[in-house]
Amino acid sequence: MPEQLPFDRIKVADFSWIMVGPTTAKYLADHGATVVRVETERPPDRLRAAGPFKDRLPGTNRSQFFGDFNTSKLSLSLNLKNPAAVAVARRLIAWADVYIESFTPGTVDDLGIGYETARALNPSIVMASTCLMGQSGPAAAFAGYGYHAGAIAGFYEILGWPDRAPSAPWVAYTDTIAPRFLAAAIMAALDHRRRTGAGTHIDAAQLEMAVQFLAPQIMDFNVSGRVVSRNGNRSDTMAPHGAFPCSGDDQWCAIAVESDKQWDALRGVLGDPVWGRDDRFRTAEGRLRYQDEIDRHLGQWTSGRSAQEVMHLLQSVGVPAGVVQRSSDLLRDPQLAHRNFFRYMDHPEMGNIPYSGHQFRIRGYESGPRSPAPLLGQHNELVLREILGMTDDEVTEVVAAGAIA
Amino acid sequence: MLSPYTVLDLTDDRGDLASMVLGDLGADVIKVEPPQGSSSRRMGPFLEDAPEAECSLHFFAFNRNKRGITLDLTREAGRRVLLRLVEKADFLIESARPGEMDEMGLGFDALRQINPRLVYVAITAFGQDGPYAGFAANDLTLAAMGGSMNLHGDPDRPPVRMTVPQVWLQASAEAAVAALTAHARMLRTGQAQFVDVSAQTAMVWTMMNAMVAHAIQGADFNRAGSMLQLGNITLPLVYECADGYLVLVLNGAALAKVVYWWVEDGIVAEEWIEAEDWPTHDVRVLQGKPVRYSLEEVVAAHQRYALGHSKQELLERGLREGVTIAAVNTVEDVARFRQLEERGYWLIAPLPDGRQVRVPGVFARLTETPMTVRRWAPKLGEHNEEILGATLGLSAQEIAAASGAAAP
């Protein structure tokens, strides 16, 4: 029986680039949709120019940053600055159920492929426009990355140490949040369209999606004036609660004791040391107050053991503990292996390489990437002839005009 | 958009946001809490610092667009009522430990008998099965196991998590996508769907280009404080300014403009403007080619300049002149950010104690099908009478037995 993938009748014109739009379209692509990723060589998607590169050799088709976020898609190279390309873009929009773009607000209107045009071409189109600040407002033109939006949304302030400056998340943090909200909105719009025939235009400001994750803290400021700030790994309610040094170079195990029962279990694993019997540590209140002392003792115990050993010893008595894992650890993590998380696929230039799978699994089919990320322009012929039904003459004409680049 | 659908939300603090996303998109969401209330009612921050069920801002923030009932699922009466609700539901979302729902006779295999088109979403730390499925876990340990922590913090100190817990929010937002994906498959196949959401893998996805890095380039990415790592150069992202911190990537395009700002303030000599081809400075640094002013000199100049200006002033100037400068905002700055104000992002919500507060509004604007907030978070058991009585037709006594109000 064919797999009957969730979105196998959905067609997507993905004009977006970098992170948020492409990741959103990837959800649809991996779960069955036909997604045409519209790119150009002038310049290529920034992710194609950012590592990791296969074997550290840079190249347009060698970045797995681009790869992981563009699986299961077809690639059409189309230089939208070329007038002949706009006609192709319009045919693609007429073909699609979903049209995603992430240009600076106003750009698609200037190009002649804005929502009004899209709706004229395709009355029930679901169009999503995503950018950092939204399509309107005084900062609409703010053209930055999730590195910037992460600071504006408040996440730098809550990362790092209280005695030091705010810390930048290593990733463009709002880019990790926005695609989940945007994908849900598009899927809901598609369901509405299926039932009513009506399309819609989604204005998805990455800032407004990310700020949802700090809603209680913003409300708290509005009510009490309290301003949340970074506090290392400390918790208001739990202690010990931190990353503890383990044997080896820069190896750590996170330990978070939630209850007195877990505290007793932890002491048991340590062999009931004398320091642990201290009455001051019996309650959460006491452990919070004297956690520097506890951290020192616990750190001495952990530093003589591997992070894996610390995790398994504590887990054996039900204490939350987890190795601070790197990419290399994840690639051999038995739980991720059990979930078939990394999918090895053959890429024309990068060879047999792993792609990240999905954080959710729908029973009954293998949820996750179906094909490797495309080379830039890999499917030009297929898209122009088979999907858009262009004749030989039409294809020759747009190629000669320089639009396919 | 999802107004024809009913969602049963059986989650605790690990899943509130999942059904809220569906509710914001129009679904009718029923929050099913145990008699003592969801664990998220015990999560701060609290109104007046009072750790009480109706004072949790965490619960209030993530349970809008839901009606609330209490059911004691440890008792037969409670379970029977849940089964009746399942008959009419389109989605059920839960965050119990793997196997727990089955033990109560409320697992997927039991519920699909009652509702053969149900979309059943389970949110757990590591997934329903596998070697770590039974592991004790929380925000800190999942940030570690999911690879996020290794990327955060200063190299001379331990790796850190974000101080405001993120893991279950990431997993819950993902669960909303999973629910709608599974719903699309139910429409294709006509059959009930089971979705297994793993918080660990939701966190792995927040590593972005670091997640498969080792297999691709033969080396891991590791925490680097606030340094942006680009090939063989590292560049600070965060600069201290007069009233806090700001974010700026000193690439060629930015340098070509801010060099004038430095000269204005007398930070550097006027000759700096002409002595360097600023738009290509970053590329030459990357390629190891000669530059008139080193990256260190450039960074130091900008640091001196920034100290003389406020973050809002530099953000505004950047906007005018096309230099992308972001303020490192506190929640106070976010609450006062003009862009959000003028976009009409904030809504006014009545707090359980009668006061009013500004809260984040819906997460996206849709032209033909606007998202709305139709109700605020329910008080504990607020809709027992409306849903169990008026809709299901239970008597007061039956409601009490099912919701755990009567003595066993």
* Residue in A221, A319, A336 nearest the CB of B201: A336
Position A1 scores a pLDDT of 53
Count other C-beta atoms under 10 Å from residue A286's C-beta: 16
Report the pLDDT averaged over residues A317-326.
Answer: 98
What is the percentage of chain B residues whose pLDDT exceeds 70? 99
Q: Letter for the amino acid at B57?
A: L
Half-sphere exposure of A25 (CA within 13 A, CB side): 38
- B99/A contact by beta carbon, under 8 A: no
SS3 state of residue B399: helix
- What does the DSSP 8-state code read for residue B387? I
Distant-in-sequence, close-in-space partners of B78: CB < 8 Å, separation ≥ 6: B71, B72, B401, B402, B403, B404
Report the pLDDT averaged over residues A21-29.
Answer: 98
DSSP-derived pairing of the beta strands B193-198 and B227-230: unpaired
Long-range contacts of B349-352 (CB under 8 A, 24+ apart): B349/B60, B349/B64, B349/B376, B350/B376, B351/A223, B351/B47, B351/B60, B352/B47, B352/B54, B352/B55, B352/B60, B352/B379
Position A99 scores a pLDDT of 98
Position B406 scores a pLDDT of 53
**A80 to chain B, closest Cα gap in Å:** 23
Report the pLDDT averaged over residues B364-375.
Answer: 95
**B287 to chain A, closest Cα gap in Å:** 13
Flag whether pLDDT at A212 surpasses 80.
yes
Report the pLDDT averaged over residues B252-271.
Answer: 96
Report the pLDDT averaged over residues B311-317.
Answer: 90
Q: How far is CA A382 from the centre of its chain?
A: 29
Report the pLDDT averaged over residues A293-318.
Answer: 98
Specify the domain boundaries for CATH 3.40.50.10540 within chain B: 6-207+343-403
**Superfamily name with CATH number, domain B227-329:** formyl-coa transferase, domain 3 (3.30.1540.10)
Flag if B138 and A320 touch (Cβ within 8 Å). yes
Report the pLDDT averaged over residues B213-221.
Answer: 96
Q: Letter for the amino acid at A334?
A: P
Query: Residue A88 has which token pair?
Result: 């192709």
Position A46 scores a pLDDT of 87
Is residue A358 within 8 Å of A6, Cβ to Cβ? no
Least confident piece of the model among A126-130, A308-312, B161-165, B233-237: B233-237
**Closest residue in B to A160 (Cα–Cα):** B153
Q: Letter for the amino acid at B251?
A: N
Position B408 scores a pLDDT of 41
Determine the Cα–Cα distance for residues A162 and A21; give it in Å rounded to an integer. Answer: 35
Angle at B280 between CA B274 and CA B286, to 5 degrees: 130
Report the pLDDT averaged over residues B239-243.
Answer: 96
Report the pLDDT averaged over residues B343-352.
Answer: 95
Question: What residues 346-405 of chain A have any CB closer than 8 A to a CB of chain B?
Answer: 350, 353-365, 367
Q: What is the pTM of this model?
A: 0.97
Determine the Cα–Cα distance for residues A93 and A41; give it in Å rounded to an integer. Answer: 21
* Residues B90-141: tens digit of each pLDDT: 999 999 999 999 999 999 999 999 999 999 999 999 999 999 999 999 999 9
Position B283 scores a pLDDT of 81
SS3 state of residue A66: helix
Flag if B364 and A229 touch (Cβ within 8 Å). no
Sign of CA dihedral B53, B57, B61, B65: positive
Sign of CA dihedral B24, B25, B29, B34: negative
Flag whether pLDDT at B407 surpasses 50.
no
Specify the domain boundaries for CATH 3.30.1540.10 within chain B: 227-329
- What does the DSSP 8-state code read for residue B106? -
Flag whether pLDDT at B229 surpasses 70.
yes
Flag whether pLDDT at B234 surpasses 90.
no
Position B354 scores a pLDDT of 87
B6-207+343-403: CATH topology is Rossmann fold (3.40.50)
Determine the Cα–Cα distance for residues A166 and A156; give it in Å rounded to an integer. Answer: 5
- Give chain B's mean pLDDT: 95
Tell which of B196, B221, B328 to mutate to test the A interface (max A CBs under 10 Å). Answer: B328
Distant-in-sequence, close-in-space partners of A175: CB < 8 Å, separation ≥ 6: A18, A19, A20, A23, A145, A146, A206, B208
Domains and CATH numbers, chain A: 11-213+346-400 (3.40.50.10540), 241-324 (3.30.1540.10)
Match 């990437």 to its residue by tokens: A369
Report the pLDDT averaged over residues A287-305.
Answer: 98
**A356 to chain B, closest Cα gap in Å:** 7
Flag if B151 and A170 touch (Cβ within 8 Å). yes
* Residues A42-63: tens digit of each pLDDT: 889 989 988 899 999 999 999 9
Is residue A102 within 8 Å of A26, Cβ to Cβ? no
Is residue A394 within 8 Å of A76, Cβ to Cβ? no
Flag whether pLDDT at A154 surpasses 90.
yes
SS3 state of residue B96: coil
**A394 to chain B, closest Cα gap in Å:** 35
Residue B356, class by beta-carbon neighbours within 10 Å (0-12 exposed, 13-18 middle, 19+ buried)?
A: exposed
Which pLDDT band holds residue B231 (cuts at 50, 70, 90)? low
- Give chain A's mean pLDDT: 96
* Residues B30-73: tens digit of each pLDDT: 999 999 999 999 999 999 999 999 999 999 999 999 999 999 99
Length of chain B equals: 408
State phi, psi for A17 to the nearest 5 degrees: -150, 175
Distant-in-sequence, close-in-space partners of A202: CB < 8 Å, separation ≥ 6: A126, A127, A128, A129, A130, A182, A185, A186, A189, B364, B365, B366
Question: What residues 173-232 of chain B have any CB closer than 8 A to a CB of chain A?
Answer: 173-178, 180-185, 187-189, 191, 193-198, 200-202, 204-218, 220-228, 230-231
SS3 state of residue B127: coil
Name every chain B residue with its beta carbon within 8 A of the beta carbon of A242.
140, 158
Report the pLDDT averaged over residues B224-252.
Answer: 89
State phi, psi for A32 to the nearest 5 degrees: 120, -20
Flag whether pLDDT at A381 surpasses 50.
yes
Position B316 scores a pLDDT of 87
User: How many beta-carbon pairs under 8 angstroms link A with B?
Assistant: 516
